[in-house]
C-alpha cells in the first residue's frame, strides 16, 4: 500500500473530512509516482487538486483561482 509522505500527512491533519476526500486521491497519486508535487486551488466552487510538474515531490502549494 502507498503511504503518504509526512509532509502530506501533516497538511491533511486537522482539515475537514470533505476537503481531505477531495485532495487525498491526488496526494496518493503523487506519492505513487514520487515525481511531482501537488497544487491545491481554491475557487468559487470549492477546491481542486492536481499534480504539478513545477512543484517538487512532497510539496503542496495552495493557490487561488
Coil, strand or helix: which one is 14?
A: coil
Whether 31 maps to a domain, the answer reads: yes
Query: Do 48 and 61 touch, CB atoms closer than 8 A?
Result: no
Whether 60 maps to a domain, the answer reads: yes
Whether 58 maps to a domain, the answer reads: yes
Residue 65: predicted pLDDT: 83
Extract the residue ranges of the chain whose pLDDT is less than 50: none
Whether 1 maps to a domain, the answer reads: no
Q: Which residue range is the domain that position 16 belongs to?
A: 6-64
Q: Which cell numbers in the block locate residue 27?
A: 496526494
Residue 1: predicted pLDDT: 80
Whether 41 maps to a domain, the answer reads: yes
* pTM above threshold 0.85: yes
Task: Report how many domains make up the chain.
Answer: 1
Amino acid at each position: 500500500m502507498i503511504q503518504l509522505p509526512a509532509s502530506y500527512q501533516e497538511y491533511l491533519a486537522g482539515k475537514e473530512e470533505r476537503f481531505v476526500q477531495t485532495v487525498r486521491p491526488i496526494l496518493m497519486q503523487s506519492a505513487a509516482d514520487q515525481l511531482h508535487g501537488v497544487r491545491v486551488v481554491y475557487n468559487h466552487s470549492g477546491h481542486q487538486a492536481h499534480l504539478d510538474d513545477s512543484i517538487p515531490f512532497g510539496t503542496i502549494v495552495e493557490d487561488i483561482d
